[in-house]
Structure 1
Amino acid sequence: MSDVHVDSHVLATLREVMEDEFALLLDTFLTDSDERLRLLREAEAQDDASAMRMAAHSFKGSCSNMGAVLLASLCKQLEDLARREQLDGVAPLLGHIEREFAIVRILFKGERQRHR
């Protein structure tokens, strides 16, 4: 697994702590992340900096907890922009977040397959 996208040490710790619930944790993260992305796009469409900041902050935290380091970093950038109410031009950053999440999704699904 690419440590650029996902910290393998964090995942190893989660696997050890969660044991039989590890696959459920991965599934929950993926489902929850889809919802967070939807909220980010909705906030963008409504030009709602507060909603964008809250959604980006929440997504950043869950990504960080799961070891999705690059995704967490991108969410922090988005959170910072929203905090400064600089929503003009967030579309490219949101696109980058979506592309990075697509990579993380593939990596986590592979991880799930290996640890049934």
Structure 2
Amino acid sequence: MADKNVDRDALNALREVMEDGYPELLDTFLTDSESRLVELRDAADPKALSEVAHSFKGSASNMGAVRLAELCRQLESGAKDKSPTEIVKLVAEISVEFAEVRPVYENEKHHAHTH
């Protein structure tokens, strides 16, 4: 279950702070994450990779996606030192992790609209 990789308290706090803007915040996170995953796959050099990983880490951590944020942090800090193979593997892990937590956010979005 992906729930353990999402900090529910962080999400609840966000919901309270954002109120009506919460569904939109979830939407933006999902859309941004999608495009960041593409950027990670296409990144041509360690600097670009590191920058995308950095912004991805920030949004993941704001949204309570703890494991996703941690994987992005590893990529950000290791972009220069890892072999291309290791980077591909880490980017794949990030993709898988996002795919796993995504339903949690989709679900939140759905419920946010119905409350």
Offset at residue 92 of structure 1 (A): 1.3
What secondary structure is seen at the aligned counterpart in 2 of 1:4? helix
The one-letter code matched in structure 2 to 1:4 is K
* 1:95 aligns with one of 92, 97, 103: 92
Which residue is equivalent to 1:11? 11
Aligned pair count reads 112
* 1:58 aligns with one of 55, 60, 67: 55
Higher relative contact order (CA 8 A, sep 6+): 2
Q: Which consecutive residues of structure 2, in runs of 5 or more, have no partner in the other structure?
A: none
**Larger helix share, 1 or 2:** 2
RMSD after superposition: 1.4
State the identity %.
51
The one-letter code matched in structure 2 to 1:26 is L
Which residue is equivalent to 2:72? 75
What secondary structure is seen at the aligned counterpart in 2 of 1:115? helix
Distance 1:27 1:5 in 2: 19
TM-score, normalised to structure 1, is 0.90
Distance 1:58 1:81 in 2: 15
Query: For residues 33-89 of structure 1, what are the alpha-carbon distances to aligned partners after superposition, in whole Å with 9 as ceiling and x for unaligned?
Result: 11111111111xx2x00000000011000000110000000000111111x342422
Contact (CA 8 Å) 1:59, 1:75: kept in 2 or not?
A: yes
Distance 2:102 2:111 in 1: 14
User: Structure 1 32/108 Cα, relative in aligned 2: closer, same or farther at 3 Å?
Assistant: same
The one-letter code matched in structure 1 to 2:13 is T
TM-score, normalised to structure 2, is 0.91
Q: Does 1:29 align with 2:3?
A: no
The one-letter code matched in structure 1 to 2:12 is A
Which residue is equivalent to 1:109? 106
Distance 1:78 1:2 in 2: 21
